[in-house]
A and B are shown apart, each in its own frame.
Chain A
Amino acid sequence: MPSEPTPHSTVLPSQAMPRSIAFYLPQFHPIPENDEWWGKGFTEWRNVTRAEPLFEGHDQPRRPADLGYYDLRVPEIMEQQAALAREAGIHGFCYYYYWFAGRRLLEKPLDRMLASGTPDFPFCLCWANENWSRRWDGSEQEVLMRQEYGEDYARRIIRDMLPFLQDARYIRVDGKPLLLVYRVDIIPDCAAMTDIWREEAVAAGLPGLYLVRVESFVELDPQAYGFDAATEFPPHLLDKVALSDPKTILKQHPKFSGFVFDYEKIAQHYGNKPAPDYKRFKALVPSWDNTARKRFNPYVLRRASPELYKSWLNQCLRETCRRFKGEERLLFINAWNEWAEGCYLEPDEKFGHRYLEATREAHAQMASELHSGTQRSSHDPLGFAVALFDDGQLEEAYSRFLSMVEAGERNPLVFVYLGLIALSSALPDDAHTFFQHAIDSSADRANTMAAIAQRCLERDQLAFAETYFSAAVEAQPTLIGGFVLLAEVWERQGRLRDALQLLGSFTQAESSMRPAILARIIKLARALGDTSSEYAASLLARDFPDSHARAIELMLSRDTTRAADLRAEAQRFAQSHGNQLQQMPAQPVARLRVGFVLGLPDASSTTLRLEALLRELDPQRFETFVFARGLSSSESTQRLFLLADAWDNLCGLDADACDARIRAHAINILINLDAYASLAALDVFSRRNAPLQVNWSWPPRPLALPCIDHLLVDALSASTDNYAELCCEAPAVIEHLPAFALPALDLPSSSASPLRHTAPRGLRLACLEAAELIDQRSWQAWARILAALPEARLRLNFSDLSATAIASLLSQLASLGIEAARIDHCMAMDSGALLEAWQDVDLGLCPLSGDSSLPTLLGLQQGVGSISSTAVTPWTALSAGLIDQLGGAALIAHQADDEDYVALAVQLASDVTLARELGSALRDRLQDSALLDTAGFAEAFAACLHALWQQKLEGIA
């Protein structure tokens, strides 16, 4: 029996020394569940070793050094890990705790650690309450182990954890065990859970709990969830668009479609992050590269190094000391051993112990600074000068900063502080000059401007703050935080209406700041007495109890006709408030009223899918409505119009008018089909016109759809690699390939043929996507194909181009080497005409950008296969996906460069017989394929809608 361990929480070397806690993954040993899902003997090492470099300089695979490819069933390993961590100054480990409605996974290392008392090293737990999915991302897709909560889960899990929490090694804050939860945003009624937890902890003789939520997916005041504090969790919550820099990636693998960030830039990003109004601990990441799990779609932090990590850690330690006192001086390192995410401190072959040494040095430095009673270290002149500034010793600080500049220091922070000192000395011109130097010497101008602005705001220098926030958001319009702070400046200047208007533009923002934005809008709107804005924002923010209650209140005062919504709202409110309101029964409906929101209802793969649904969805179970955001008199529109139970044009209507139109139809499920899920489409969805709102556009931009309850995806899209990357939430999958309502082939030829000009018969290639949508890259590829095939002609679709536009296009083509004599054309605007235009074509060419699946499909129906490419964009992959479904792999180019595509086209066009045979085979397979099984598709779609609706009812009930 091991001796009773010493309580670590009482033996801290210094009460004030920040405690660094490293997240710890207790994987790396086989368990029966992983054997079943991934194969016998699976451990995370299998992923780690299979990773391959995807671009020049890509550091993969990662290879462990001292500890080797260890197995956590071996007790010595955890002891060695603890020894290494202790040596590096790490205070303890935060073990992930996997608990699925009573069933624990990966529990053996923890249980043994608890029972044996070794390693004698502080620890705490983090409930990793995510689904286990085949994608390793906690998504709702391909779930291996679902995170379910079940009845009385809160009591059950805390009782399970109590033996750990009571262990003497357990990390505490002022006596309370420190307990983390990975995703509180997905826990139903989280605040009630924390009440139960605390109650159980007290009953077990503990003084309570210190609960920390991990900011993995959303930034929000932890108190709203009953938590004491939050912790950052880099590299989560990155603004991918703003920070990634794919152009600098050289020699990529053709399938590479991940995001690459610069480590230093990310460190700066986190360093510049304004401190929130609530307690949030600093956290950092030594490096990050999840290629081992995500294969071709990883997130990679490039140019990570022990030195940069140490600098970030230094900053985190200081910030922690600045913001927290006593036992709340915590910071988190992500992670100790996340090898498959390229995120570990353990020794590896490349850096050896250097990350551990960097950790040790940073902690030693901090300890030294604290020990001497000051953080002013001559080894850190910047920190020293900053400390002087913070102490108000401006003159001394000024001379320190100035001497650093004279010594060649170009750190933008130095100039920022010089500017702030000038500002404090009422020298505004000098301040601007220093700030400009700071901006000029920064790699990230916009963030530096925002940082300057924020410091000015903290000092109540509102005019300066306004100037630099405005400049920051102008330089980087995606810097939503900048807009929010600019609004705060205006608010403090008394310009409430301006602030409200500014924030109003970001209610749909793809940002983790959205909740904060909505909260501020609500506050401003209340101050202004603007109930309309307050109501709209409250509805959008109704996941938060206060806003939720207010939304109901406002709904009552605004509109008494919305009984159904009111009931649903009341139910949600009741659910999140311990059923304080009387339960109202959910009302199943006999026929679901489904509204489809379309952009321009012209011929496209979307309208052909919709047509199939409108015709085939069982009318006994569904009523269908189409809301068109664009006007069209095309044949496609007419067909949809005839088949839908009702049709409404939303063209040119504002959100209020759309709201009225859609509500008049009492839609149960509103489905967005608008391509790309554009923000404009959100006018239709923003007012929550239907109880259930779903997005079914491809490619999805779910982040643009905050008013969407579910993402819907068909089996074809779900099967492509790109979907997962484009999609932030797990979609509901229609278990069927999309089926299209294609026009019949057996009609007699029309006298009004769409063909206007037909060249003499020779080898004929065609691309019948509208010519104005073809990109330069495709034209160049086709020029090379035509050059290699002197007898070939290319048929293009000039659709509704004017004569002037056609002349201009032909002239452009001539400049690329495609002479007009090589072109014949049709002017096909709809599926029937397109079908006819494919009639005498030998081989089709899909363009290298855009979704050309409609003409491709019609070509296949006419027995003409098209060369396509998977490697360019998700859009082009759609056409390739269709062809692939029919076994047309021979028509698909996979290499990212266009040579593969050109070579394939030339090769097939050179053997017309083979090309035609291939086309005929594809046509035959198409006729028997699920792609034309509209009834089966509609049935699968219906099942999916019913499941979502049922889920909705259960949510209300």
Chain B
Amino acid sequence: MSTTATPSWSVIICSIDAGKYAHIVQSYERLLAGRRFEIIGIHDARSLAEAYNRGIARARGDSLVFSHDDILILDDGFAGKIEQHLAKGFDLIGFAGAKAVSDGYWWSAGPAQQYGAVGHAPPGLPQLSLHVYGIDDVAISPAQVIDGLCMVAARRAVDTLQFDAETFDHFHLYDLDYSFSLHQRGLRVGVVHDIPLLHMSVGSFGAHWQEHRQRFVRKHAAALGRVADAPLPEPLKLRARVALFDDAQSLRRFWTHANLLRAGLAMRRMQR
């Protein structure tokens, strides 16, 4: 799996499901074939932040992938494209995010600020849903916060900052906090649109999430411009343009820059 020479890529996966883990490992092996890479599995984490920090400690690669175990990247050009984006000076790259944030969720600043497109394969549904959140006429858009379903960090990002496992000691908000903190330290965060990706689940927004959302708001009160103990509004519903496709082929056929760009524009117009 990992090579003896110093790898250029480290993939850190936190998983407690052997089946999913095997599947995602297989996927990354294919995506990184021909490159020096290592895959670091964390199976006993207390929190995602803690797991990822453990992964960072072990990782030797220049590019570090922090990946959920329930995603599927549908583009064999994944590694090459990410390398190009990193070479342009981005330090942390995600697949969905926003160029501004006002609350403890990445779409909090409204549809005009959000970026990305993600395919979903929610359990129980026979079809794949493509969610277009917003697209710029570039392959990668600068952002302040990103979603953690898959994040790729340059070595200088993790050398600058690690995940805040102390504040975010569960499975929520670690991603928002990490990306926003990097952004505040002057590092470049971005959202890519040119790599189709499937997420096999949808998020959960229960009590734990609400608690960590409060922690995020308190931690970044100065930047968010809100009084820490002010009551939080109900989270806005995530806005997206959504369509259902029968299979990954169909979804991929749609996934061109021109199509996503127009769909992203339609999404923004839809919100007016």
* A interface with B by C-beta (< 8 Å): 614-616, 619, 623-624, 633, 635, 638-639, 641-646, 743-744, 747-748, 750, 752, 830, 832
Contact = CB atoms under 8 A, between A and B. Distances in A.
B258 interface: yes
Contacts of A639: 243, 254, 259
Nearest to A635: B250
Contacts of A752: 247, 249
The 6 closest A-B pairs by CB, nearest first: A638-B243, A750-B249, A642-B263, A635-B250, A645-B266, A642-B243
A747 B252 CA distance: 8
Contact of B262 (A615, A633, A743, A832): A615
Contacts of B263: 642-643
A857 to B, nearest CB: 16
Contacts of A643: 259, 262-263, 266
Size bracket of the B interface: 20 to 34
A64 to B, nearest CB: 62
B265 interface: yes
A750 B246 CA distance: 12
A642 B253 contact: no
Given A619-B265, A638-B130, 16 more contacts: A635-B245, A635-B254, A638-B243, A638-B244, A638-B245, A638-B254, A642-B130, A642-B262, A642-B263, A643-B262, A643-B266, A744-B256, A747-B252, A750-B248, A750-B249, A832-B253
Contacts of B245: 635, 638
B244 A633 contact: yes
Contacts of B258: 615-616
Interface string B88-132: 000000000000000000000000000000000000000000101
B227 interface: no
18 contacts: A614-B262, A615-B258, A615-B262, A633-B244, A635-B253, A638-B243, A638-B244, A639-B254, A642-B132, A642-B259, A642-B263, A643-B259, A643-B263, A645-B265, A646-B266, A646-B269, A646-B270, A747-B252
A616 B254 CA distance: 14
B241 interface: yes
B269 to A, nearest CB: 5
A624 B246 CA distance: 25
Given A642-B241, A643-B266, A750 B254 contact: no
Nearest to A616: B258
A638 B265 CA distance: 16
A645 B269 contact: yes
Contacts of A619: 262, 265
A377 to B, nearest CB: 78
- Most interface-central of A616, A624, A641, A646 (chain B CB within 10 A): A641
B243 A641 contact: yes
A832 B266 contact: no
Contacts of B254: 635, 638-639, 642
Contacts of A645: 265-266, 269-270
Contacts of B270: 645-646
Interface string B225-250: 00000000000000001011111111
A68 B246 CA distance: 73
Contacts of B76: 748
B196 to A, nearest CB: 11
Contacts of B250: 635, 638, 830, 832
Contacts of B253: 635, 743-744, 747, 832
A858 to B, nearest CB: 12
A641 B252 CA distance: 16
Nearest to B132: A642
A644 B246 CA distance: 20
A620 B252 CA distance: 27
Nearest to A644: B266
Contacts of A830: 250
- Most interface-central of B246, B249, B256, B263 (chain A CB within 10 A): B249
B259 A747 contact: no
A752 B19 CA distance: 22
Contacts of B243: 638-639, 641-642
Nearest to A836: B249
A623 B244 contact: no
A633 B129 CA distance: 12
Contact of A635 (B241, B246, B265, B269): B246
B31 to A, nearest CB: 13
- Most interface-central of A619, A624, A638 (chain B CB within 10 A): A638
Nearest to A640: B243
A344 to B, nearest CB: 59
Contact of A615 (B248, B249, B252, B259): B259
Contacts of A642: 130, 132, 241, 243, 254, 259, 262-263, 266
A750 B266 CA distance: 29
A743 B132 CA distance: 19
A935 B253 CA distance: 19
A449 B259 CA distance: 61
Given A633-B244, A638-B254, A642-B266, A832 B259 contact: no
A745 to B, nearest CB: 10
A633 B247 CA distance: 13
B272 to A, nearest CB: 10
A635 B251 CA distance: 9
B118 to A, nearest CB: 14
Given A614-B262, A633-B244, A641-B243, A747 B249 contact: yes
A643 B265 CA distance: 9
A623 B249 contact: no
A264 B165 CA distance: 97
Contacts of A633: 244
Contacts of A832: 249-250, 253
Contacts of B246: 635
Nearest to B264: A642
Contacts of B241: 642
Interface in B174-192: none
A712 B263 CA distance: 26
B168 to A, nearest CB: 34
Nearest to A831: B253
B129 to A, nearest CB: 10
A615 B262 CA distance: 6
A635 B249 CA distance: 10
A564 to B, nearest CB: 19
Nearest to A641: B243
Contacts of A744: 253, 256
- Most interface-central of A624, A643, A743, A752 (chain B CB within 10 A): A643
Contacts of A638: 130, 243-245, 250, 254
A95 B269 CA distance: 60
Contacts of B132: 642
Contacts of B256: 744
Nearest to B117: A642
A645 B241 CA distance: 10
Nearest to A830: B250
Contacts of A747: 249, 252-253
